[in-house]
């Protein structure tokens, strides 16, 4: 994805050939922005912030201008204005001043600014390190100005890899229980998303089978679609950060369970309730390892039971 440059005033700046540009000026606030730095080996590089997780902008990369106060928040006039309910108007401030690196400062917010597992007031951010504000997670990278490849960190002080509660992919290399705790949001999300698909198929088949009325077919289709949509949407918001949305999956699953109970389908109702019960275990700040293992087993078990039910009803529908 192309690198984006934004002025500290929030004005996005057009630039087609960033590799040829050292400085840019903002037509709105007339500020002169330096966007390129040089390391000890005279290599030119950009400090780039990548959105690795969040409701919007995942994958977008922003070049950090040098020596400027770069604010992130939900209000207009920030360097990056992020759409989010949990962020403050001005949530945190970043400053890239080579050779010192990048400094990050929380602006006294309720949900905090997180570097690694800890909430920080003011901290240094190293290349390849992640930080999180609200439901957004960013990665800082120093990229070669010519080919946009990450600079080798051989010369830099080796730092412990940042491990965050919510990762875009499942980490490998650490112990299994560590991985479960670290990746719990990702695991919970995948469980809810799998459950959404399986539940949609199951309810579609069951409703199709329950009557030979032609209208029932459309009804079954839309019920399946509604379950898939609601659970998928809510599943994407299983995080620590979001104050209300993190409980949305729980609410959707309980609603689903109630409709299954009313429709005299006890087993899928139990599956939905079991999955709902594990979500609060996952969204605690740092759950114990025992709870994490317990939650994963229960969640996987209930999803598999529903998968068997869905398979049975699909076979029955095919045989009809
Ligand atoms: Zn400007």
Q: Is pLDDT of 155 > 50?
A: no
Q: Which two tokens stand for residue 196?
A: 């959404």
What architecture is domain 3-164? Sandwich (2.60)
Residue 282 pLDDT class (50, 70, 90 cuts): confident
From ligand 1's centre to the CA of 30, what distance in Å? 6
pLDDT on residue 310: 94
From ligand 1's centre to the CA of 40, what distance in Å? 30
From ligand 1's centre to the CA of 71, what distance in Å? 13
Beta strands in 101-247 (DSSP E): 102-106, 113-115, 118-120, 122-125, 130-133, 136-144
The per-residue pLDDT for range 111-149, each reduced to its tens digit, is 899 998 888 999 999 888 999 999 899 999 999 887 778
Q: Which two tokens stand for residue 256?
A: 């689903």
Assign 3-class secondary structure to 186-228.
HHHHHHHHHHHHHHHHHHHHHHHHHCCCHHHHHHHHHHHHHHH
pLDDT on residue 163: 35
Work out the mean pLDDT of the chain and round it to a whole number. Answer: 82
From ligand 1's centre to the CA of 26, what distance in Å? 5
Q: How far apart are CA 109 and CA 9, in angstroms?
A: 21
Residue 102: CB atoms within 10 Å: 22
The per-residue pLDDT for range 162-184, each reduced to its tens digit, is 333 333 334 444 577 777 776 67
From ligand 1's centre to the CA of 10, what distance in Å? 6
Sort strands 3-6 and 61-63 into parallel, antiparallel or unpaired: parallel
Quick one: which of 234, 231, 222 has its CA closest to 199?
Answer: 231
3-state SS, residue 25: strand
Maximum Cα–Cα distance across the chain: 76
Q: Is pLDDT of 261 > 90?
A: yes
Are 273 and 261 contacting, i.e. CB atoms less than 8 angstroms apart? no
From ligand 1's centre to the CA of 136, what distance in Å? 24
pLDDT on residue 239: 59
Q: Is pLDDT of 267 > 60?
A: yes
From ligand 1's centre to the CA of 296, what distance in Å? 48
From ligand 1's centre to the CA of 79, what distance in Å? 9
pTM for the whole structure: 0.51
Domain ranges of the chain: 3-164, 178-319
3-state SS, residue 110: coil
- Greater confidence (97 vs 309) lies with 309
The per-residue pLDDT for range 26-68, each reduced to its tens digit, is 878 878 888 888 887 778 889 999 988 888 778 888 999 988 9
From ligand 1's centre to the CA of 125, what distance in Å? 24
From ligand 1's centre to the CA of 106, what distance in Å? 22
């Amino acid at each position: 994805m192309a690198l984006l440059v934004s002025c500290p005033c929030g004005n996005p700046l057009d630039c087609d050939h960033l590799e040829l540009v050292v400085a840019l000026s903002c037509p709105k606030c007339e500020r002169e922005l330096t966007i390129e730095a040089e390391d000890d080996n005279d290599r030119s590089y950009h400090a780039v912030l990548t959105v690795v997780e969040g409701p919007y902008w995942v994958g977008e990369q922003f070049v950090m201008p040098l020596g400027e106060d770069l604010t992130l928040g939900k209000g207009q006039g920030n360097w990056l204005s992020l759409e989010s309910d949990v962020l403050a108007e001005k949530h945190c401030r970043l400053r890239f001043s080579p050779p010192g690196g990048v400094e990050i400062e929380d602006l006294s917010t309720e949900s905090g600014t997180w570097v690694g597992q800890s909430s920080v007031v003011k901290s240094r951010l190293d290349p390849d390190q992640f930080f999180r504000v609200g439901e957004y997670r960013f990665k800082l990278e120093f990229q070669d100005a010519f080919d946009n490849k990450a600079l080798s960190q051989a010369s830099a002080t080796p730092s412990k890899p940042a491990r965050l509660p919510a990762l875009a992919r499942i980490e490998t290399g650490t112990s299994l229980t560590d991985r479960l705790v670290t990746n719990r949001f990702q695991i919970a999300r995948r469980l809810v998303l799998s459950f959404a698909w399986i539940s949609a198929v199951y309810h579609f088949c069951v409703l199709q089978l329950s009557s030979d009325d032609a209208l029932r077919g459309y009804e079954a289709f839309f019920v399946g679609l509604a379950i898939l949509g609601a659970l998928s949407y809510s599943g994407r918001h299983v995080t620590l950060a979001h104050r209300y949305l993190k409980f949305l999956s729980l609410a959707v699953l309980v609603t689903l369970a109630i409709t299954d109970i009313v429709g005299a389908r006890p087993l899928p109702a139990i599956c939905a309730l079991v999955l709902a019960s594990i979500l609060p275990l996952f969204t605690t700040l740092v759950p114990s390892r025992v709870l994490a293992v317990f939650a994963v087993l229960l969640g996987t078990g209930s999803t598999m039971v529903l998968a068997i039910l869905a398979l049975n009803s699909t076979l029955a529908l095919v045989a009809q």
